[in-house]
Each structure stands twice: as C-alpha cells, then as structure tokens.
Structure 1
Amino acid sequence: MNKEALTVMIADDDGTMRSLLAMVLKDHGYRDFVYAADGQQAVELIRTGSAALGLAFLDIDMPGFTGLEVLALARQLRPGCACIIVSAHSAVENVMAAIRGGAAGFVVKPYSAQRIAEVLLKIERESLS
C-alpha cells in the first residue's frame, strides 16, 4: 500500500472528529484526504471521487446515509477500498453488521491514536498478503 498515492476519505458529521482523524493519519504517512460531512457527500465521493480512493473511515451515524449504507455501496463500486466503520456505539449489533458488510475494521469513538494505528497496521498487513 503506497500511502502517498492513496486517497483517504473521512466521512463524519462532526468536523472535529474529521480533523482529529486526519491529524492521526498524517502522523502515519497518509497525505491525500477527501472529507464528507454527511452520508450523501460520502456516497458522491464513492461514486465520482478519485480512482486512488483506497481507504475510508465511515461514521456509522450520519445524516443522509449511514456508514453501513456507504460501506455497502463502496463494496460494490470500489471493492479495493478498505472501509473502517467508526462509531460511538459499540453495540455488538453494530460491530457485527459492519463485519458482515465487509468492513476492514471497527473503531469506537472516542478513539485513541493507538487504536487507529492498530487498524492501519492490520489493513497494511492484509494488503501485502
């Protein structure tokens, strides 16, 4: 996975969360970001965004479309894009729905930089195999 050539989408209706996640990802070598403030914007980025879109962090609870709905579309239109669901609600149903839907990971808010690093490492390892 070439981090410099990869576009990362951060879809979250909370601007502070988008900014914090981008800072953590920059610390891990990611450089190109697109942002969605709601599910509709995330869907448009999945449909028409850069061909380099290869990693997406999707808040589960967004106006317009949920993160799980965006995940389903991403699996169809961008099967090579690793999607991580982010949620303040770690209910077993949410985690299981994300995994069944093909998410590469699930991160509970508020997340730590360490937890994001763990998910990134998992995705990077899987892309090498």
Structure 2
Amino acid sequence: MLFSLFLTLSALFVSALAAPLTTRQEKVSNVVCTGGNALDFHTVNVALLQICGGIAGSIQKCQGAPTSSTGTSGNVQFSIVPVEQSATINISKGRWEQGIKAAFAVCGLDKPFTATFVGGASTGDVNVELKQI
C-alpha cells in the first residue's frame, strides 16, 4: 500500500517537472539551424551571460533599454535585437535561458542558430542569433 502511494506520488512529481518543456518550446519560433559542429560549451555559456552588458549573477533583466546587444566570448557571439525597430530589449534572464534551451532542443546543444523569442522587448519579440565569429 505504501509502495503504491509512493509510485503514484513519484509519477505526479515527474509529470509536473516535465510540463515546462512544452511551454519552453512554444516561446521560440522561426528557429533556423545555421551551423554544423557544436561550439565550445564553456565559450557559449560565457557569451550567453554577456548579453545586455552581463545578465549573470543577481541581474534579472536586461538593463538600460538597449536597442541591440551582443554577448561575445572567444569565437562565439550571441546577438539580440527587437523585431520591431522602435522597441528596446527588456528580456528577463528566465525568458532568455528558456529561449536558448528551446533553440538548442531544435538544433542541438551549442550549435549556431537564428530564432525569434516570444516577448523580451518593450513591444513584441526579439530576434536572436548564435554564431561563430
């Protein structure tokens, strides 16, 4: 009886954790895989945290309302621009990370891509590119 209850609770817990993956994938559109080989994992992660002048640590949102931003490390660059030209970037760290994970789910981990992340701008969405420079 106790074992059966444990299995039921475990199944509910696992299904609750799995649900956000579908939501993440819906937050990205127009994903185009643009490269072949995966880029260096560490270099990609450093570049990922460099957007908006550094979105690492306690920073939770892009600061200063920029109209574009790049994050570069070694030979890797992330670029982010609003879809609407008059908009500014105000993407949160959570939305940024979810978008990156969703794009990697399509293209493969640390592989170059272009995509549109839903939201992330003062008005509308943002276009994102990961490339080797």
Normalized per residue, the structure richer in strand is 2
The higher radius of gyration belongs to 2
Normalized per residue, the structure richer in helix is 1
- Under a length normalisation based on structure 2, what TM-score does the superposition of the two structures give? 0.28
